[in-house]
């Protein structure tokens, strides 16, 4: 059976198998071929997203490694970029759920979790503006106002850098934005010390990047109810 004649489930398995072997370029090439034969929408919603959701579950259960998550994230990231250039996909894309300003806390140089959040949240329909590592509070606020953002999402790996998020909380409140912008926080330190979320003024957190779209959904719903 050639890849062209495979059933949807078999295509998902084939992509999973290529990712498992670290064959990122082959996986993207195959997805692209299928997209040409059908459409980017078809490939994303029937093959890639169900596979990613399944992998996310396996990852959370400890059955896949961080490297698996990294490769699948890279495949998704590069394929979404291809899709973004497709006029049909652009015109048929669903409504953007909202805008998230994403970045690592000031002094934090651990980008992996943040990058995975960006990939999974973009795939779920969020407009993500990624500011990178070591982002000062003023830049988070400035970009949030400039882009009329709904959520500021900040990643921090360590206790010391997580404490820098408190400044963002204070600046949100000081600028009268607390009714308009929610503060999502995440990173290894919040798993170890869950009480830290409220201590630094976070509005919510999740344990893994794959859950970040659900957190953003919850937070934007809170804003809608309030406003």
Partner 1 sequence: MNSLERILATVTGNETDYQPFTMLLSLYGASLIKSDTSTYYRDPEIWFEGQQAVVDTFDPDIVISPFSFPIEASAFGSELVFLNKYAPNIRKPIITSLSQINSLQIPDFEKSEAIKFFLRGNELLSGKYKGNKAIASPIHSPADLPSLLMGIEMWIDTLLFHPEYIDRIMQKTVEHFVRLGNEFLAGGTTFLVVPVNFTNPMMITEKIFSKLLPYLESAFRQIKGPIVIHNGGCKIMSFIDRFVKLPNVIALVLEHTESFDEARRIIGDKTILMGNFDGPNFVNLNREKATDITSKILNNRKADKHFIFATSNADIPYDTPVETIKTVVDTIRNFRKYDSV
Query: Considering only residues 4, 57, 67, 191, which one is a binding residue for partner 1 as defined by CB under 8 A?
Result: 67
Helices 8-20, 49-60: crossing angle, 10 deg rounding: 50
Identify the bridge partners of residue 183 per DSSP, sorted by sequence position: 152
> Residue 45 interacts with partner 1 (CB under 8 A)?
no
> Residue 208 interacts with partner 1 (CB under 8 A)?
no
User: Is 68 exposed, middle or buried, given 0-12, 13-18 or 19+ CB atoms closer than 10 A?
Assistant: middle
Considering only residues 90-129, where is the footprint of partner 1 by CB under 8 A?
A: 107, 109-112, 115
Count of chain residues binding partner 1 (CB under 8 A)? 21
Considering only residues 174-193, where is the footprint of partner 1 by CB under 8 A?
A: 192
> Measured between alpha carbons, how far is 132 from 186 in angstroms, rounded to an integer?
15
Examine the residue annotation and report whether 108 is marked as an active-site residue of this protein: yes
* Neighbouring residues of 114: CB distance < 8 A, sequence distance ≥ 6: 102, 103, 104, 130, 133, 155
CB of 81 to partner 1, least distance (A): 16
Q: Which among 183, 210, 178, 217 has a CA at the least distance from the CA of 197?
A: 183
Query: Considering only residues 68, 97, 180, 218, which one is a binding residue for partner 1 as defined by CB under 8 A?
Result: 68
Residues near partner 1, by CB under 8 A: 20-22, 24, 62, 65-68, 70-71, 107, 109-112, 115, 158-160, 192
Residues acting as catalytic residues: 108, 110
């Amino acid at each position: 059976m050639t890849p062209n004649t495979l059933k949807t489930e078999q295509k998902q398995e084939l992509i999973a198998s290529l990712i498992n072997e670290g064959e990122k370029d082959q996986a993207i090439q195959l997805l692209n071929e299928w997209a040409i034969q059908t459409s980017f929408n078809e490939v994303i919603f029937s093959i890639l997203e169900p596979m990613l959701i399944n992998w996310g579950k396996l990852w959370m259960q400890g059955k896949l490694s961080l490297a698996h998550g990294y490769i699948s994230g890279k495949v998704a990231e590069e394929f979404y970029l291809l899709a973004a250039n497709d006029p049909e996909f652009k015109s048929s894309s669903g409504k953007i759920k909202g805008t998230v300003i994403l970045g690592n806390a000031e002094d934090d140089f651990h980008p992996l979790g943040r990058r995975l959040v960006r990939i999974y949240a973009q795939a779920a329909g969020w407009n993500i503006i990624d500011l990178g590592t070591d982002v000062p509070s003023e830049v988070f606020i400035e970009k949030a106002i400039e882009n009329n953002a709904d959520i500021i999402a900040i990643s921090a790996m360590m206790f010391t850098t997580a404490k820098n998020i408190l400044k963002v909380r204070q600046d949100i409140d000081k600028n009268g934005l607390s009714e308009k912008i929610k503060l999502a926080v995440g990173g290894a330190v919040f798993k170890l010390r869950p009480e830290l979320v409220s201590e630094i003024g976070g509005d919510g957190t999740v344990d893994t990047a794959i859950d970040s779209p659900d957190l953003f959904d919850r937070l934007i719903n809170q804003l809608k109810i309030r406003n």
